[in-house]
A and B are shown apart, each in its own frame.
Chain A
């Protein structure tokens, strides 16, 4: 069965420190993976798609099929990065059906 695991509920780092939010998945098909972010009092919004291999707000994520991981990384954390981050897997194939991880709260300390 498909599953998305985010092992850390909370990750606390200091401003300027590197950040790595972990995400592992289990899926027999070809995965489509995303990172979504929810800032305080804002709606859930798309941060990254693995298919586009883009960098948004300094964040990157590489799909590692061998390790079934899609970790989110940023070399230097900023206070405004503090938010809830969700990793998600689309397992609907040609349709939309996402399974989300339980989320990691990133707290960037000044």
Chain B
């Protein structure tokens, strides 16, 4: 059974550009969540999608957005990149909302560097 797949693994972007990250959840998992991991702030919740709908959103500016497709794959987009957006972006999937108690399966992440 394939795990959570995130692409690309590494990205270097310039300030002001935008970026799109992709996440394919485990087959059968319909809930996809995104987290930002930085040395200073640790792991912070971005948003959660289920059945193509955003169910939860963290405290991030509107430059951060996402979507989920009918096959449960999800993308997140960051527009007008800032240096502070440099981070490891993690995707996690679970069977459905309320299954948080079952725990997530995380991807390896996309390392975004903004220069």
A80, chain B: closest CB distance, angstroms: 20
Number of interface residues of B (CB under 8 A): 28
| Residue A85, interface by CB 8 Å | no
Query: Are B45 and A90 neighbours in the complex by a CB distance under 8 Å?
Result: no
Residue of B nearest to A45 (CB): B106
Query: Are A43 and B106 neighbours in the complex by a CB distance under 8 Å?
Result: yes
Roughly how many angstroms separate A43 CA and B33 CA in the complex, as a whole number? Answer: 15
B70-96 vs A, CB cutoff 8 Å, 1 = contact: the mask equals: 000000000000000000001000100
Query: Are B42 and A34 neighbours in the complex by a CB distance under 8 Å?
Result: no
Query: Are B56 and A95 neighbours in the complex by a CB distance under 8 Å?
Result: yes
From 24 to 40 in chain A, residues with beta carbon under 8 angstroms from any chain B beta carbon are 32, 34, 36
Residue of A nearest to B103 (CB): A46
| Residue B55, interface by CB 8 Å | yes
Residue of B nearest to A86 (CB): B43
Residue of B nearest to A90 (CB): B100
Residues of chain A contacted by B33 (CB below 8 angstroms): 96-98
| Residue B108, interface by CB 8 Å | yes
Residues of chain B contacted by A36 (CB below 8 angstroms): 106
11 A/B residue pairs, CB under 8 Å, sorted by A: A34-B103, A44-B106, A45-B106, A49-B102, A90-B100, A95-B98, A96-B56, A96-B104, A98-B43, A99-B45, A100-B35
Question: Which of B's residues lie within 8 Å of A, judged by CB?
Answer: 3, 31, 33, 35, 42-45, 48, 50, 55-56, 58, 90, 94, 97-109
